[in-house]
Structure formats: C-alpha cells, structure tokens
Amino acid sequence: MNNKFPKLPNYPFSWRSIQVEPILLSGERITIGAIIQGVDKALVAAKLISASKLKKVYGNEFGSKISDALSICVNSAEEFYLNKSLTTEWTPPLGGFYLNNVNSSVAENIEEALMIAASYCSSFSVSLDSERVNSIKPNISAPESWRKSIIDAVRVKNVDLAHCFDKKVAITGSGVPISFGFVSHNYAAHFDAISDIKSIQHSLVRAQSKLWQLDRLRDNLDNLFPPEECELLIQTPSKLEDREADVVNEFISELEYEASRRELGIYASSSVDSAAIHLIDKAA
C-alpha cells in the first residue's frame, strides 16, 4: 500500500508571542513579536511587524515609540532565553508588554519555524501575506530571482568566485545544514528581496531569519576560520513613488538596526550589477 501523505517535518519547535497593550488597562492586546526555540535549542527572537505598519496604525509618534520599545523587548527576550527553556517565565522590561503562552509545532528547520509562528500568532498581515504569496505561485520568487541574477553577474565578472555560491554549512544549534547564498574564506552573504510594498511584513520576518543564520555561521564553534564579514544583500524595488520610497527606506533602516545588534551588515540596492560588484569587492 502506497502512502500518499506528505512526510511530516522532523524539527519540533516551540514559540511564545510578545504582545503589547497600546492603551494601558484596556485589556486589548496585539501580537507584534515572537520568540522561537527549536528542539536543538536554536533560538530566534523577531519583530513581526515593521515600524512603518505601526506608524500607519497608531500615528508616526506613537507608532515609533511602540517599535522602539518592541526592539528593546526582543533583545531582552533573546538574551534571557539563550540558555533557558521557553517554559521559563520572562518579564518584559517595559510596561504594556506581555508574554503569551507556549505553543508547539513542527517544521523543517528553525527558519521555517519562524515563518510558521509568525503566520499563526501575528495580529497583522504576516499570515495574509503568506497566503497571498502562496496563491500567486510565481515561476520564481523575488529573492530567488535576485540570487540567480547575482550569481550570473558574478560569473561574468569573476568566475573564480562561482564555487562559493549555495554553500551548505552544518551549524551548531541549527538542527540541519543551512544553505547560504555565498561563503568564502573571509566573507559570507545571504540574499533577499522586497517583492512589493504590500508584502513587507513577510519580508521583515524572512530577513530576520537570514540574519540569525549569518550570526550563527560567524559564531559557529565548528568553524575554525569564520568569515570576517557577513551581510544580507537585499534588493529594493527600482521604481517607487515618494511615499513608497519612504516605507522602503524605513524598512531598510529597521533591518540595519537588527543587523547591527549582531554586528552584521546590510547592503540594499535595486541593481544586480552593483550588488555583484559589491560582493566581489568584499570577497577579494
């Protein structure tokens, strides 16, 4: 008898959402962050909503304050749970923020676990973005198109670096080998792209997972010679109206903050050639 059911993912994980009560004592809470912990103790703490979305909902000043406060809480949660189980109770350092109950599921790896948790526990549009992206089903995703285009451009300009793309590295605490966009003796990069403004929530969560992977690569105990520099190379839309450009610029600034707290880099460009030249210069 043939079993036609798909294979069950073999990476158990747990997560707890971080909620905020914008109007104190109102009892109305929204989920804007999450802490995800894998069975192998891999840990990712992430923001599930961009600063631009918070400003759109709560106004520029109040939205900015919530975003800044969320960053503080995410950093605090990550430091607290590095060597603790999610069943341990953490108290957010700022008033108005709360930790929700422990939930569990299975995924292929910690990156997919973050996306699943974001889809299930986000009060805003992460789950809707995922449904919209999956329903469209393009022949090739924006991040994949960006990655392939950079590979092609680098091969033309410096074929000696071609073997450095799509490297799989076994990372301590990740569960399975992780595929990185580019890894050389001194430089590593992941690739991502903003397909459109409407899916920027989804892009934020995905980019944070890739920053976590780069962080683990650099600090991997099994790697005697870790890359000196790690970056996320992200493609931005080339033609935007002023309002849309402001949203993208704010999004990049937010990613730069997330990268800086891990001592990683962000390179944003709409040009494949510029990104390829940047990569070649860094890997030289």
pLDDT value, residue 189: 96
Considering only CA atoms, which of 87, 71, 44, 282 is closest in space to residue 175? 44
Q: Is 43 exposed, middle or buried (0-12, 13-18, 19+ CB in 10 A)?
A: buried
Considering only CA atoms, which of 217, 227, 230 is closest in space to residue 191? 230
Residue 21, token pair as written in the block: 């009560």
User: pTM of the predicted model, to two decimals?
Assistant: 0.81
Where do the domains of the chain lie?
11-124, 135-283
pLDDT value, residue 135: 42
What CATH topology corresponds to 135-283?
Rossmann fold (3.40.50)
- Distances in Å between the alpha carbon of 134 and those of 13, 90, 207? 23, 35, 18
pLDDT value, residue 177: 76
Q: How far apart are CA 150 and CA 277, in angstroms?
A: 9
pLDDT value, residue 133: 46
Residues in the chain: 284
State the Rg of the chain over Cα.
Answer: 19
pLDDT value, residue 132: 46
201, 49 Cβ separation under 8 angstroms: yes
pLDDT value, residue 222: 59
Q: Would you give per-residue pLDDT tens digits along the chain (284 residues)? A: 555 666 777 889 999 999 999 877 777 888 999 999 988 888 889 998 888 888 888 898 999 999 999 999 999 999 999 889 999 999 999 999 999 999 999 998 888 898 888 888 766 655 545 444 444 444 568 889 999 999 999 999 999 999 999 998 877 655 567 889 999 989 999 999 988 777 788 888 889 989 988 988 887 755 667 788 999 999 998 887 888 888 899 899 989 988 998 899 999 999 999 999 999 999 98
